[in-house]
């Protein structure tokens, strides 16, 4: 009886949640898909859609999108697999540092990664300057910027930790009984790896690779900046260009529809492989292998080299951003000097950073992030509370509806809101600032929901029944029992929502106008104006804001503030 009453109270709450998602998510995305079938005159036409979608230009862009994602994924796997092997099988100095540093790309906005690569690997970047100084060269030896290799390298940096951590975690749980049996039969190490170990690792490798491929396929900021022009254009970049540069929403919608189809196929493949790798028991029985130390000097040397190069690969571009923010040139070809000029100009308008108002961009980013957190926290709490009270079958269907925004790129979502703003042009209620906040709510909601849902289920299934048995009402049970248990996960979700909103670039760029400038958008415009010093100062401020958010979370979670 109590369960039936709970379901009767839960279903209206979830119904309200789904109704809220209709204008926030389903309507904008549906508008994008419908726009693909409209002619420039405003008529509906399937023939016009077929003409656009079958053009050689469309499929050239689609093929390049797939090609760069494939090679980027291959690079991530090549870099990540040795680290996964070391993390799973060995104990060595620097292991904890490597594990910690490998999480850095997950919490950094892509625009900072792009800027770091330009500053470190650029023709006049720190790496080229160092090589020119060491070998007395007159010209930069490395010219990789605005090339296909630059795109692959940046994607590999941003995504190889996914392979390292997911495959390493899976590998760590494998028993070594099969390998020991092969060794006892006289097999050599290399043959054992390719015939015994690798087949057992394939589910985890393919699963993580499909996720990396998805991220590279929907990449936007890296392609937009490092691509260098139409030669290296992907579906995501073409959506933005058609909508905001060519002013052709119908063509943008065609590219969005193609991107959506590819993304859904990749996501279904990933989910299938994820369930297989998680549920497969082949090789996962028996005693877990304890990490061992290296018995040879060669092993220790190779490990040290890999850890050193991985840390340099991860840290150098980001450290370059901070370093360059404290530098300036006396004139265009002059010497570099140390200065606080860019930070003074950030907070002392009128600014000399060429474009925009840095102070306004900082405060707008913070205000948008705070409004996003204020909206997404009660929504995720509502949805988690309701989902926890559903049966497994019903909750599974609702989770799919809630997590669907994760499968849609933020460029497509931004295009949907942009089309709505065009349809409602002149309406005082709609403003770019409000649209960006709503887009950020949709983007961050699935992440916060996924963080809070496990805690909500544990609280409801473990502690709520005892409170009900003692006569507590549902409201009092929620306030006195469940909500305190949800505090940690809610704080985690709020921090991630704040950091994601602060660094979100794709949807904000599609929706911004001359009056709306967030930190990532202003950084992009400064990069386009070749003012890398000012962009680095803004990027450092963005990294400090994200680090401060995580620090405050740690303090609150440990009882420092609460």
Helix (H, G, I), strand (E, B) or coil at 288: coil
Q: Examine the pLDDT at 8 and tell me if it is beyond 80.
A: no
Q: How far apart are CA 300 and CA 92, in angstroms?
A: 8
Question: Does the pLDDT value for residue 81 go beyond 70?
Answer: yes
Q: Are residues 486 and 448 in the same domain?
A: yes
Cis peptide before 248 (omega within 30 of 0): no
Mean pLDDT is lowest, of 289-298, 328-337, 458-467, 479-488, for 289-298
335 or 147, greater pLDDT: 147
pLDDT band at 536 (very low <50, low <70, confident <90, very high): very high
Boundaries of domain holding 495? 1-22+342-562
Q: 386-389 contacts: CB < 8 A, separation 24 or more?
A: 386/10, 386/11, 386/13, 386/14, 386/17, 387/14, 387/453, 387/456, 387/457, 388/453, 388/456, 388/457, 388/459, 388/460, 388/461, 389/6, 389/7, 389/9, 389/10, 389/460
Lowest mean pLDDT among 42-51, 61-70, 320-329: 42-51
Other CB atoms within 10 Å distance of the CB of residue 151: 27
Q: What is the DSSP letter of 38?
A: B
33: in domain = no
Same domain? 230 vs 201: yes
Confidence label for 275 from pLDDT (cuts 50, 70 and 90): low
**Band of the pLDDT at 2, cuts 50, 70, 90?**
very low
Which pLDDT score is estimated for 349? Answer: 56
Three-state SS at 90? strand
Final residue belonging to a domain, choices 298, 324, 350? 324
Average pLDDT rounded to a whole number, residues 324-343: 82
- DSSP β-bridge partners for residue 327: 338
Is pLDDT above 80 for 7?
no
Q: Is residue 231 part of a domain?
A: yes
Q: In sequence order, what DSSP letters do the residues of 216-241 get, joined into one string?
A: HHT--HHHHHHS-SGGG--HHHHHHI
The arithmetic mean of pLDDT across residues 151-171, rounded, is 89
47 belongs to a structural domain: no
**Strand, coil or helix: 337:** strand
- What pLDDT score was predicted for residue 125? 86
**How many residues comprise the chain?**
562
Number of compact structural domains in the chain: 2
Burial per residue of 425-460, b for 16 or more beta-carbon CB atoms within 10 angstroms, e otherwise? eeeeebebbebbbbbbbbbbbbbbbbbbbebbbbbb
Residue 333 lies in a domain: no
- Kindly state whether residues 384 and 416 are assigned to the same domain: yes
479 within a domain of the structure (yes/no)? yes
Share of the chain above pLDDT 90, in %: 23
**Measured distance CA(353)–CA(336) in Å, rounded:** 17
CATH of the domain at 457: 1.10.3720.10
Same domain, 395 and 317: no
Token couple for 146:
């605005």
Contacts of residue 46, Cβ cutoff 8 Å, sequence gap at least 6: 37
Mark whether 241 and 293 lie in a shared domain: yes
Q: Is 48 within the bounds of a domain?
A: no
Residue that wins the pLDDT comparison between 365 and 92:
365
Do 252 and 122 lie in one domain? The reply is yes
Q: Is the dihedral of CA 421, 426, 432, 434 positive or negative?
A: negative
């Amino acid at each position: 009886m109590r369960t039936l009453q709970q379901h009767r109270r839960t279903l209206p709450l979830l119904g309200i949640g789904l109704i809220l998602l209709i204008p926030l998510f389903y309507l904008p995305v549906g508008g994008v898909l419908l726009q693909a079938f409209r002619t420039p005159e405003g008529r509906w036409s399937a023939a016009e859609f077929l003409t656009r979608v079958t053009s050689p230009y469309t499929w050239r862009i689609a093929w390049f999108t797939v090609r760069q994602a494939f090679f980027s994924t291959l690079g991530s796997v090549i870099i990540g697999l040795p680290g996964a092997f070391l993390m799973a099988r060995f104990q060595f100095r620097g292991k904890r540092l490597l594990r910690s540093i490998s999480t850095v790309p997950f919490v950094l906005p892509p625009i900072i990664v792009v800027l770091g690569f330009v500053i470190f690997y650029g023709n006049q970047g720190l790496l080229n300057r160092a090589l020119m100084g060491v070998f007395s060269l007159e010209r930069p030896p490395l010219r990789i910027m605005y090339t296909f290799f630059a795109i692959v390298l940046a994607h590999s940096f941003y995504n190889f930790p996914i392979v390292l951590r997911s495959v390493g975690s899976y590998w760590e749980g494998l028993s070594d009984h099969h390998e020991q049996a092969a060794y006892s039969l006289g097999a050599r190490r290399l043959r054992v790896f390719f015939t015994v170990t690798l087949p057992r690792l394939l589910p985890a490798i393919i699963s993580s690779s499909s996720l990396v491929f998805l991220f590279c396929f929907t990449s936007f900021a890296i392609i937009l900046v490092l691509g260098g022009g139409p030669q290296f254009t992907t579906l995501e970049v073409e959506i933005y260009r058609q909508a905001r540069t060519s002013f052709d929403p119908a063509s943008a919608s065609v590219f969005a529809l193609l991107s959506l189809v590819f993304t859904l196929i990749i996501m279904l493949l990933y989910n299938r492989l994820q369930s297989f790798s998680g549920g497969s028991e082949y090789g996962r029985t028996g005693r877990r292998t304890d990490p061992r130390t290296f018995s040879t000097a060669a092993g220790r040397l190779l490990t040290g080299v890999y850890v050193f190069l991985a840390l340099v690969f991860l840290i150098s571009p980001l450290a370059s951003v901070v370093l360059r923010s404290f530098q300036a040139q006396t004139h265009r070809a002059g010497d570099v000097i140390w200065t606080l000029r860019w930070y003074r100009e950030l907070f002392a308008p009128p600014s000399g950073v060429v474009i925009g108002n840095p102070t306004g961009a900082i405060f707008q980013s913070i205000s948008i992030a705070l409004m996003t957190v204020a909206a997404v926290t009660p929504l995720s709490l509502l949805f988690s509370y309701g989902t926890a009270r559903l049966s497994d079958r019903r909750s599974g269907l609702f989770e799919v509806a809630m997590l669907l925004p994760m499968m849609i790129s933020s460029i497509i979502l931004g295009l949907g809101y942009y089309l709505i703003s065009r349809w409602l042009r002149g309406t005082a209620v709609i403003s770019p600032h409000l649209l960006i906040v709503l887009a950020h709510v949709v983007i961050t909601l699935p992440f916060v929901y996924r963080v809070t849902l496990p805690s909500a289920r544990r609280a409801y299934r473990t502690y709520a029944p005892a409170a009900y048995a003692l006569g507590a009402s549902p409201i009092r049970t929620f306030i006195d029992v469940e909500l305190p248990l949800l505090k940690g996960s809610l704080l985690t979700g709020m921090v991630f929502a704040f950091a994601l909103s602060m660094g979100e670039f794709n949807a904000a760029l599609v929706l911004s106008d001359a009056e709306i400038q967030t930190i990532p958008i202003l950084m992009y415009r400064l990069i386009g104006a070749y003012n890398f010093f000012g962009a680095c100062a803004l990027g450092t401020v963005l990294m400090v804001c994200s680090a401060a958010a995580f620090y405050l979370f740690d303090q609150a979670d440990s009882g420092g503030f609460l």
